[in-house]
Copies of this chain bind each other. A is one copy, B any other.
Amino acid sequence: MIGKSIKIEGTGVYLPEAKSSETIEKMLGIPLGWSEKYSGVKNRHHVTFETNGFMGARAAEQALQSADLTLRDIDMLISAGSSYDYPLPNQASVIKHELRGASFDFPAIDIDSTCLSFISGLEMAASILDGQTYKRILLVSTEVASKGLDPSNWETATLFGDGAAATIIAYDPFEESLVVKSQQKTYSEGVYHTIIEGGGIANYFNNTGINSKDIFFRMQGKNLLRLAKKKLPIFIKDFFDDLPIKIEDVDVIIPHQASSTGLAVFKKMYPFNESQVIDTLAMNGNCIAASIPLTLHHVITQKKLKRGQICLLIGTSAGFSIGGLLFRY
Question: Using a CB–CB distance below 8 Å, which chain A residues touch chain B?
Answer: 1-2, 47, 51-53, 77, 82-94, 96-97, 103, 105-114, 120, 123-124, 127-128, 130, 132-134, 144, 147-148, 183-189, 191-192, 194-202, 204-207, 209-212, 215, 217, 317-321, 323
Question: Copy number in this complex?
Answer: 2
Are A323 and B200 also in contact (CB < 8 A) when A90-B318, A191-B97 are?
no
B93 near A319: Cβ-Cβ < 8 Å: yes
A86 near B207: Cβ-Cβ < 8 Å: no
Given B128, B147, B215, which contacts A207 in the complex, CB threshold below 8 Å? B215
Are A108 and B199 also in contact (CB < 8 A) when A90-B113, A189-B103, A217-B88 are?
no
Which chain B residues lie closer than 8 Å to A128 at the CB level? 1, 123-124, 127-128
Which chain B residues lie closer than 8 Å to A82 at the CB level? 88, 90
Within the complex, what minimum Cβ distance (angstroms) separates A293 from chain B?
Answer: 17
Within the complex, what minimum Cβ distance (angstroms) separates A2 from chain B?
Answer: 6
Within the complex, what minimum Cβ distance (angstroms) separates A323 from chain B?
Answer: 7
A93 near B201: Cβ-Cβ < 8 Å: no
Within the complex, what minimum Cβ distance (angstroms) separates A90 from chain B?
Answer: 5
Which chain B residues lie closer than 8 Å to A83 at the CB level? 87, 200-201
What CA separation (Å) do A312 and B88 show in the bound complex? 26
Name, among A112, A130, A132, A318, the residue most crowded by chain B CB atoms within 10 Å (CB to CB): A112
Are A89 and B194 also in contact (CB < 8 A) when A124-B124, A204-B148, A321-B107 are?
yes
Are A94 and B191 also in contact (CB < 8 A) when A108-B319, A120-B109, A215-B204 are?
yes
Within the complex, what minimum Cβ distance (angstroms) separates A230 from chain B?
Answer: 12
B130 near A1: Cβ-Cβ < 8 Å: yes
In the complex, the 5 A-B pairs of residues with the closest C-beta atoms, listed nearest first? A93-B319, A107-B184, A207-B212, A89-B318, A110-B112
Within the complex, what minimum Cβ distance (angstroms) separates A107 from chain B?
Answer: 4
Are A321 and B201 also in contact (CB < 8 A) when A120-B109, A134-B1 are?
no
Within the complex, what minimum Cβ distance (angstroms) separates A236 from chain B?
Answer: 14
B105 near A185: Cβ-Cβ < 8 Å: yes
What CA separation (Å) do A206 and B327 show in the bound complex? 42
B113 near A187: Cβ-Cβ < 8 Å: no
Which chain B residues lie closer than 8 Å to A317 at the CB level? 89
Are A105 and B201 also in contact (CB < 8 A) when A2-B133, A210-B207 are?
no
Which chain B residues lie closer than 8 Å to A53 at the CB level? 202
Within the complex, what minimum Cβ distance (angstroms) separates A140 from chain B?
Answer: 14
B86 near A196: Cβ-Cβ < 8 Å: yes
Given B88, B96, B106, B186, which contacts A105 in the complex, CB threshold below 8 Å? B186
Which chain B residues lie closer than 8 Å to A195 at the CB level? 86, 88-89
In the assembled complex, 25 residue pairs joining A and B whose CB atoms fall closer than 8 Å, in A order, are A2-B132, A82-B90, A85-B201, A85-B202, A87-B148, A88-B194, A88-B318, A89-B195, A89-B317, A91-B112, A93-B318, A94-B191, A103-B188, A109-B120, A109-B184, A123-B128, A124-B127, A127-B128, A128-B128, A147-B204, A205-B215, A207-B210, A207-B211, A207-B215, A210-B210
